[in-house]
Amino acid sequence: MSDQTGEHRESGPRHRRTGRARRLLKWATVVVTVSAAAAGITVVGYVRSVPLPDDPVEVQASTLFYRDGRTILARVGTQNHNDVPLAAVPLPVRQAILAAEDRDFYHHSGYSVRGILRAAVANLGGRREGASTITQQYARNAFLTQDVSLDRKAKEFALAVKLERKFTKDQILERYLNTIYYGRNAYGIAAAAYAYFGVTTDRLTAAQGLVLAATIKDPFGFDPANDAAAARERWTWIAAAAREKGWLGGNLAYPAASASRAADAGPNGIVIDRVEHELADHGVTSRALHTRGLSVVTTLDAQAQAAGLAQVARHLAGQPRDLRVALVAVDPRSGGVLAHYGGKQRGYFDDASAAHPAASTFKPIVLAAALRAGISAQSRWDGGSPRLFPGRLGVPLHNHDDIQCPDCTLEESMVRSLNTPFYAVTEKLGADSVRKMAHDLGIPPANGDTPALVDGKGDPLPGQTRPDIAIGRYAVTPADLATVYGTFAGGGVRHHRHFVESVAGPGGRRLWTAEPQDRNALEPAVAADVTAVLAAVVRRNGFTPDRPAAGKTGTQQWGDTSDNQDAWMAGYTPELASVVWIGKGDPGPIRDKAGKAIEGDNLPARLWRDFTREALRGRPVTALPEPAGIGRAGAFDVTRSSESTPIRHYQ
C-alpha cells in the first residue's frame, strides 16, 4: 500500500510538469505561427509597396576627371546596344549563362532566400556578397543603383517577385541577356557577340557562349584581352558546371576572342582600364561605370599626363618600331598616380605593369639596407673588377667597362654605377635583408602568382634570394619601382599607389572615397642620405630637370652579348617620383635609330629629364632634404684601414 502511495506521490509532479510543457509548447507554436504570419504579411505589404517601373533605367555614360575634378580625362559609356529575341540566342549559349549565374533559374520563384541571408550576414560584417538569381540581377541592373546595402537587396527581392508574376521565365531571361553588361562597351548579348567574336548571336557556339558567360561576373577581369589566364579558368569552371547539369557534352576547345575594340584605344585607354580595374576592387562594377553616369575623380594630373604622352612621342619619334616604353609617375605625398604610359594602344599589354630585371636601379635599395644597418654612404669598399664572390657560384662579377675603383665610397660607387661594391655590401648584410628592404619600400611579394625577388625554376637556388639581387637580377615592374622611389622622395613614408580619388553617382552622392594608406617604411635619416647620394648621380651625370632631383639609371645586358635588353631611369623631386623603362615585348637587343645600344644614361635618362621638367613646369621649386650623415664611414672591403665614425643602427 505504502509502495503504491509512494508511486502516486512521485508521479503527480511529473504529470504536472508534462502538462505545463505541453501548454508552453502550444503557446510557442501559436507565437511562432502568428509571428511568421505577421512577417509574411509584412513581406507581402513591402512587396506591394515597391513599384515596378515600366522601363529600365536609362543608360548613361560616366565621366573620368583629372585630379582637379574639373578637367575631363575621358568619357566611358555604353553605346553599343541592340536587343535580340531569345530565339536568336542558341540554346547552348543560354545554358552557358545559366550555368554561370543561376542554374535553377527555371525552378525558383525569382529569389534565393539563402542568398539573401548570406548577403545580409556579409554586409553586417563589412563584406560584399552577391548570390543573386538572374531575376534579381535583372531587377538590379534594370531598375536599381549598384549600392551594396540591405535596402537595395530588399528592393531587389520585391522587384524580382513582381517580375516573376508579370513575365514568363523566357521573357525574363530575354530581358536579362539584352540588359547585362559584358565589357568592351557591349551592353546586351548581341553587342557582346560582335565585340568578342565579330558574329551575330545566332552564330555563337557553345564555347563562345562560355566566354561571354564568364565576363558577366567581372567584365574587365574575365575579358581574355585583359587576363587570359583568369578568363580561361572561369571558362573551364562554367563548362564543368554545364556538364554537371547535362547541358554540355564532349570536349570543347577554348575559342580565340578578337582583340578589344575599345572606344578610347590610345594610351589613355590603358589608364581607363587601370581605373576600371581599381573601381571593381572597391565594389563599383564595370557595368555601373559604363551605364550609370558616374563621376570619377582620378589621381592623374593633366599637366603631368600630357607631358608623359608628349615626351614619349618626341623621344620615340624615328626610333625602331619594336621598342616598347613605360612611364609611371606617382605623388610621393599620397601615392596617387600622376602620369601613366603603358603602351600605344588599349586592349593589349600594359608595359608599366610588366616585370623586367631592375639592373642598377636596384642599388639604392641596397644602399638603404646598408644605411639602416649603420653603414655610411661614405664607407669605403673595393670597387675592383672583376671580382669573385661566394654568391656568384664561381662566375666573376664585372663592373661595366671593367671600371676600377679599389677604394671607393658607396656614394662614388653609386655615381659610377659599380657592381662589385654593392654586391659586397649585400653579401655582408645578407640577400634576405635586402629583399626585405625592397618589400618594405614597395616591391610586392609576388608578381601575379610568381614569387618576387627569388630564383625561379631553372635558376641555381629556386625559391631563395641570391646576392645577385644587388645588381638588379630580379624582375620588378616600372609601376612598383615608382612606388619605391616615391618612398625615398616621401622621406621614408610609403603610400599605397592608386588611380582613383572618389566616385559619385549622377546626383552627386559619394559612392566611394579613397582613404590614406601609408606606413613608415624607412627612417627619415636613411631616406635623406639615399636622396643625397642619388642627387649626386643626377647632378654629376647631367640629368638635372631644371630643379633639384635625385635618381639612378639601370641597364640590363642581353645574355652574354655586348647588347642590352632593358634600360631604365628612375628618379624624383619632392613632388614627383617617376620611372622610365625601354625594352621589347620579348627580351632582345635594344638599339636606337643610329644603331647604338640603348643604355639607361642615354634615351631613358633624357626622356625622364624632359618629362620631369615639363610635368612640373610653372610649379614651385622645392629643395631636397639635407643629408643626415648616418652610419659608420670606415673601410669595410678594402685592404687598408682608417679611423671611422661611431656606428648608428636603425631597426
Mind telling me the catalytic residues? Answer: 101, 360
> Cell 605623388, residue?
331
Give 560: exposed, middle or buried? Use CB within 10 Å, 0-12, 13-18, 19+. exposed
| C-alpha cell of residue 170 | 523566357
Alpha-carbon span 414 to 421, nearest angstrom: 9
Q: What is the largest CA-CA distance in the chain?
A: 124
Q: Are 379 and 636 in contact (CB under 8 A)?
A: yes
Q: Are 92 and 209 in contact (CB under 8 A)?
A: yes
Strands (E), 226-282: none
Q: Are 417 and 410 in contact (CB under 8 A)?
A: no
- In Å, how far are 33, 51, 148, 203 from 46, measured between CA atoms? 20, 10, 20, 43
Alpha-carbon span 363 to 426, nearest angstrom: 10
Task: Identify which of 279, 340, 318 has the alpha carbon closest to the alpha carbon of residue 579.
Answer: 340
Q: Are 634 and 380 in contact (CB under 8 A)?
A: yes
Alpha-carbon span 150 to 153, nearest angstrom: 5
* 617-644 burial: b if 16+ Cβ within 10 Å, else e: eeeeeeebbebbebbbbbbbbbeeeeeb
Quick check: bond before 386 cis, omega within 30?
Answer: yes
| C-alpha cell of residue 316 | 620615340
Reduce the DSSP state of residue 82 to 3 states and report it.
coil
